[in-house]
Structures are given as C-alpha cells and as structure tokens.
Amino acid sequence: MNNDCPPYPILLAEDDLISRRLCQKILAREGFAVTTVANGREALELFRQRFFPIVLTDWQMPEMEGPELCRAIRDENPNRYVFIVMLTSKGSKGDIISGLEAGADDYITKPAHPAELVARIRTGIRILELERSLKAAVDEIHLMSILDSLTGLYNRGYINERLPQEIRRAHRYVRDLSLVLCDIDHFKKVNDTYGHLVGDVVLKSFARCLAGSIRQEVDWAGRYGGEEFLIVLPETHLHGALVLTERIRRTLESTPIETDNKAIGITSSFGVVCFSPGTCKEAITPEALLQEADNLLYRAKSEGRNRIEAGRLTS
C-alpha cells in the first residue's frame, strides 16, 4: 500500500471465523489496519463509536445481515462517505443487485481471492480520495462565497444570514448579544491622498486588528460595506463590549499602518449596542439592532470621531 496515502481503517464483519481470519491476514499483510467483529449488530455498534471509511461485510450473519448493516450505515452517515464491500456466496444477478441497492459499493464472491480482495479495497481508497478532494473543493468554494475577498472577514451576505441566527440563539438561551459597528475615520481622504492600493492596505490592516481582538470560535467580524465593519459578540453584556471596543480603538489610534511609502495613522468611530432578551418586550429583529448600532455610530462621528457611543435596545 502507498504509505503516502492517509490511513483508511477497515471494519470487517464476518461470522465465519476461518473466513474472518483469512481476510484479516490478507489485508494486514498489505499494511491495512483491520478491526474484526463476528456479526452485523456488533459492527454497527462499533461503527457508532468509531468511524470507519471502509466496511467489509458478509451478507449472511446472525443478528443483522449485511444488507441491513449497509442501510443502517448509509442512514446514519449522510455527510461522510463509507466504501462498503459485500462478501457473498450468493451469485445470482438478482442477489447482487439487491446488495448494491441496500448500499454496498462493490461485492466479492466467497471465498475471497487475495489479489481481488486487495484490488477492491484499493479501488475503494481511490474513490475515497476523490470524494475527499471533491469535499475540499466544495468547502473552499463555500468559504470563498462567504468571505470578503479583500479583508478575509465575512462578507455582507454572510452577515445577513448569520445575524438572525445569533439573535434567535440569544432569545432561546436568554443571553445578552452585543454588536459593534465601526467606521474608519476620514477614509476617503486616505484614498484621495495615497491612492486606492494604499487604501486597500489600510482596510486589510484594520480587519486584522478586529480579527485579532475577538474571541476565536465565539465572536465574529465582517465587512459591512466600504470602510464599515461589524463585530458580533454573543453572550456579551454592554460593559464587556465596551471594554473590547475601547481596546480596539486605542490600538488603532496608537499603531500606524506601514505601507510602501509611509506609515499612516488612522482612527475609527464605534457604535456599540446590546440587547438583553430577558428585558425585551418583544423579539428583536436584525434590522432594529443594526439600525440602532448605525445611529450610535453616526452619533460618534458627529461628536468628533475616534470615539465610542453605546446604548441598549429594549424593544
């Protein structure tokens, strides 16, 4: 077996002891890790505890036969592909079709020929590799669809999709939710003075500052539009949101952004809004929360910029 390939542990379900040991010996000799059980029920119980990408199962077994095991594995793992090979002494076309329709990918007539058995398993590995590559490509495409191409933060479409989910979760668990809407002060002047390429450097640096200031896997940030950015802080009360926002404001104020030509100092204005589901008379909408954050941001800019305005939304 190619040692460069990722490991693919095999689950072998076979009630006949001689056949089970023979198959295990053949596969182990080729470098495969094989776990054996004596019937389909044991196989399913073990599979529920530990994922096996390859399952080799006899057709006729006590307690649970091969076709039933195939169907159970397919039903319980819709998002993870398993390559299933049926071992069978049934040779009719009808039996073979029945096994494939139950969820098997391939079959081997017993007694298994060593070379054929290994070849079938290697075929399965090629299919699993293709499936893994396809999934990685799909995941990459999905990631590209929800990220802003310039800053690497979430884009407006993702914000519109996820924010309602965060609000519903806050209502369900009666936990505070805070939003921070921020805007780079006088960003148009940066573009007009230094050009849009430098402006892009500023935007990317600003985004890195936001991403590096929030809790990973809990908080999240997105580009709301132009030079406006949104930070969403689940399970965070107003005081906690203000502490975080002030830390970001001071970091931006005191850390010039290095560009090819010169270091550029920037500041930002912030609107911070929090809502506590336990005190709200009715469900809060994403539009209401964003509008209040926008109102507070506008106030911060009107009051001189490089400052924070905060408030609570109660209805």
User: What SS3 class is residue 107?
Assistant: strand
CA 186-268-222 angle, 5° bins: 105
Instruction: Name the strand (E) or helix (H) holding 124.
Output: helix 114-146
Q: How far is CA 280 from the centre of its chain?
A: 32
Give yes or no: 227 in active site. yes
**Tokens 């949104």 sit on residue:** 230
Distance CA 266, CA 208 (A): 14
Q: State the DSSP string of 276-313.
A: -GGG-SSPPPHHHHHHHHHHHHHHHHHTTSS-EEEEE-
Catalytic residue, chosen from 65, 166, 227, 309, is: 227
The beta-carbon contacts of 210-214 under 8 Å, at least 24 apart in sequence, are 210/153, 210/182, 210/248, 211/152, 211/153, 213/244, 213/247, 213/248, 213/251, 214/244
| Catalytic residue IDs | 227
